[in-house]
Structure 1
Amino acid sequence: MSTLFTTATLADGRVRDVLVEGETIARVADAGTLDPADAAVDEVVDCDGKHLLPGAIDAHVHFREPGFTHKEDWHTGSRSAAAGGVTTVVDQPNTDPPTVTGEAVDGKVALAAESLVDFGVNGGVTGDWDPDSLFEHPIFALGEVFLADSTGDMGIEADLFADAVARAAAEDTVVTVHAEDAALFDRAALERADDGTGRDADADAWSAYRTAEAEAAAVERALAVGADSDAAIHIAHTSTPEGVDAASDAGATCEVTPHHLLLSREDLDNLGTFGRMNPPLRSEQRREAVLERVADGAVDIVATDHAPHTRAEKDASVRDAPSGVPGVETMLPLLLQEVREGRLTLERVRDLVAANPADVFGVDGKGRVAEGADADLVLVDLDATREIRGDDLHSKCGWTPFEGRQGVFPELTLVRGSIAYDARGDGERFGDAVGRNVRA
């Protein structure tokens, strides 16, 4: 199968013809220089006035399979990814069973045969993990390693963390860290929020409880342990400017989520416990400071921490509601809206969601529109915005914390040359489950 994209505007503003042959990008040439007849293509896509971007790599998703398929599974999660322009996802280990042994890795990879997009599987760390078997299997990275409990209760002690980081360094494997120090949580904040009815008078209590200081301290500790072993540390879902600065100053990499980038504690009156996540939402001042660092290059990656739960699960007290929000389908649309509104450049978005994740984690052939690269491509019209509605999204959970916001959604997503999502014309259609393990 071959496809010719004509007069496509790339993220850097160049207008090019892009020829896809099979699974790869065969040619990138000046617009108008590739003749469909000469190339003998099966399909010609006129991209005049539209942008052709590399498929996004979401380095942090929880597709919930095995163990929690009432929330999400590989089929529904990957459909949501494809509809949002994400062509590679990296699944985290806090499933049931957790991905802490080679056998568990094999089991999850087998389930991922249902994925429409390419994928990686992270190996995790618990008290009974099996590093020997784990590192014999094609894990994407080590992590998300939890320094405090979150969904799945996988928080570990300092000695085990140091041992795991040293082992990952010996295996030349990146360590992705969930950095929060539980010793610095403000437990009194939850007590103050309890109104005596089992519900909460203050949905902001979770942000007051899991303090910004707890994140900053844990980032510093993770970086120090990494330095002792000369390990590559990647700080997941950094929610504070202090955390970003600490990672940047140490030469480590970090990611920011769309919810920490675009939402703050001021949104919790509307979101309630649907806005509970770990780390929690921060002050508007901190949110703005994080956005500044995303724009100026201090942040390496935007990843979603896509962590769906059902509406019934989230509709509980702040003590009982599970942490996490969906986001794999809305990441790129929201960032493209930031481009439209002048807060980010298109090149910066390309780097944050495609080129940089490929570089940080060493994913060959991904993240760029270049000859010889995988034909992971997303076609978007920056003039075509639509309101984000949970009912229109494809995650099994059926809701979004970004309800009512504007986004720029793809009209076409290719995974290694195959159509994963197509919204051209009337309706939409999805492709087959062609996803591959990028570490296999």
Structure 2
Amino acid sequence: MTYTLVILNAKLSDGRMLNIGCAGTRIQAMTTGPLKGDMVIDAGGRWVAPGIIDVHTHIRDMELSQKEDWVSASAAAARGGITTVCDMPNTRPATFDAEGLRAKWRAAARSTVNYGINFGVTEYNHDEMEKVTGINAFKIFMAESSAGYVVEAMDVIRRVMEIARRRNIPLMVHSELQSCVEAHHQRYAMTMSNHHLLRHRECAIRATERLLYLQKETGAPLYIAHVSTAEEIELIARAKQAGQKVWCEVTPHHLFLDHGVAEKAGHYAKVNPPLREKHHSHALQQAVADGVVDTIGTDHAPHTLEEKARPYPEAPSGFPGLETSLGLMLQMYHQGQIDKTRLEQMMCTAPARIFNMKDRGILREGAYADIIIVDEERPWRVDPAAFFTKARYSPFKDMLLKGQVITTIVNGQPVWHDNRLRPTKGMPLEYH
């Protein structure tokens, strides 16, 4: 048989050396034997892994296309080894009803990588939640963060969790209490150096306590996004030990940066939840190593340079992350904190499993051919001016990293190879 694409000398995370044959969009053969292909890529013994799945991205587009669109974001994702992205609902128009969802699907059809959509929750759209289909997750913002819909009332969250449990759709939550944030705004000056105090860790801890209490009561599948404190990690670890159906995500920026970076990066480092004290980053890294953390999400949140240059209260929170996430996470591998199997678990396998994605996030015969080839020793420097995203800034600017994607294959098509982007059409996700 002649395959449409063959990858030779692929070294898997468990150390096996295999050849991989793809027919159309699927992996059809994984063998030590010879394979013939219309296109052949020799991995040369480099690490070959499933494509990364990032369930936490803000693609913008539509009325916010000056910040980012699906073409630029998916190009950035492909370059970073991310073969699937899931977009957040706080776009314009927002994804809180059927009309907004249709608009999002139309925009996402231009993506080079695969895509899913997270459906936003308000106090008033529970009927929409009952009817919507084909989504990745429900999403609640418990505090304002470039979103116009805040939900923190326990009775509302309880009802939302009951719907999520009944429909077996994960509930993803931005866990900070808006009322707590507003209280701290009365205590501290509105400056970038106080951002971690204005959105105090207490606000995240109290929100997570509330969520875990309600999850225990309802049994809903709960996914807590971008956990940023040591205390939350302890709460989540105890909930898991008690058998609660809860997962948590951390971001590379909460793992590797602390609030002191604002002295150099200024508003480029403004993000919600905020960067915190160093001991929180250390606790998150330990939770990654210990297996408490389930996934890595970028929280890719692009804005224009002009917006980020505004005074602190008006400067929006967020920065790009699609092109740096794997390079950053590989630093934990190089430091001996985790192995490549654990890295694959968090960035590929677990997101597909948690969100019930069909045939994604794994290298096996019959799965979709979403594959990356990584030169884990290649050094490179973070240069935002060379990003594919429209948001050409980063708090990681000039950081020297080791490990870079050299080939990204989406549904059997090489879309990033030989330092060239070869755009194709990504596919909408299917779910069990």
**Smaller-chain TM-score bracket:** over 0.9
Q: Is the 8 A contact 1:186 1:211 kept in 2?
A: no
What's 2:420 paired with?
A: 428
Distance 1:406 1:24 in 2: 35
What's 1:66 paired with?
A: 62
Q: Identify which of 20, 26, 29 aligns with 1:27.
A: 29
What's 1:417 paired with?
A: 412
Q: CA deviation at 1:278?
A: 0.8
Within a 5 Å distance, the mapping from 1:20-419 to structure 2 comes to: 20-30=22-32, 33-36=33-36, 41-129=37-125, 131-132=127-128, 135-143=131-139, 145-158=140-153, 159-185=155-181, 187=183, 192-193=188-189, 200=191, 203-251=192-240, 252-407=246-401, 408-419=403-414
Q: Which has a greater percent of strand?
A: 2
Distance 2:83 2:152 in 1: 35
Distance 2:317 2:130 in 1: 27
Distance 1:421 1:14 in 2: 24
Deviates further, 267-276 or 338-347? 338-347
Amino acid aligned to 2:146: T
Distance 1:134 1:331 in 2: 34
Q: Is the 8 A contact 2:357 2:429 kept in 1?
A: no
Q: CA deviation at 1:189?
A: 6.2
Q: 1:190 to 1:316 in 2, by over 3 A?
A: farther
Q: What is the identity percentage for the equivalent residue pairs of Structure 1 and Structure 2?
A: 32
Q: Is the 8 A contact 1:49 1:381 kept in 2?
A: no
Question: Superposition RMSD on alpha carbons, in Å?
Answer: 1.8
Q: CA deviation at 1:371?
A: 1.2
Distance 2:131 2:394 in 1: 36
Q: Is the 8 A contact 1:114 1:435 kept in 2?
A: no
Query: How many pairs were matched up?
Result: 423
Q: 1:46 to 1:157 in 2, by over 3 A?
A: closer
User: Which string of whole-angstrom CA distances, capped at 9 and with x for unpartnered residues, describes residues 319-361 of structure 1?
Assistant: 2211111101211121123322333311111111001111111
Q: 1:133 to 1:165 in 2, by over 3 A?
A: closer
Q: CA deviation at 1:181?
A: 1.6
User: Which string of whole-angstrom CA distances, capped at 9 and with x for unpartnered residues, describes residues 207-258 of structure 1?
Assistant: 0111112111101101111222210100000011221222232131000011
What's 2:243 paired with?
A: none
- What is the TM-score with the length of structure 2 in the denominator? 0.93
Q: 1:102 to 1:188 in 2, by over 3 A?
A: closer
Q: Is the 8 A contact 2:19 2:35 kept in 1?
A: no
Paired residue secondary structure (2:377): coil
Q: Identify which of 9, 12, 15 aligns with 2:11.
A: 9
Paired residue secondary structure (2:121): coil
Q: CA deviation at 1:136?
A: 3.1
- For structure 2, which runs of at least 5 residues remain unmatched after alignment? 241-245
Q: 1:367 to 1:321 in 2, by over 3 A?
A: same
Q: CA deviation at 1:439?
A: 4.4
Amino acid aligned to 2:13: A
Deviates further, 109-118 or 10-19? 10-19
Q: Is the 8 A contact 2:358 2:431 kept in 1?
A: no
Distance 1:132 1:429 in 2: 38
Q: 1:97 to 1:129 in 2, by over 3 A?
A: farther
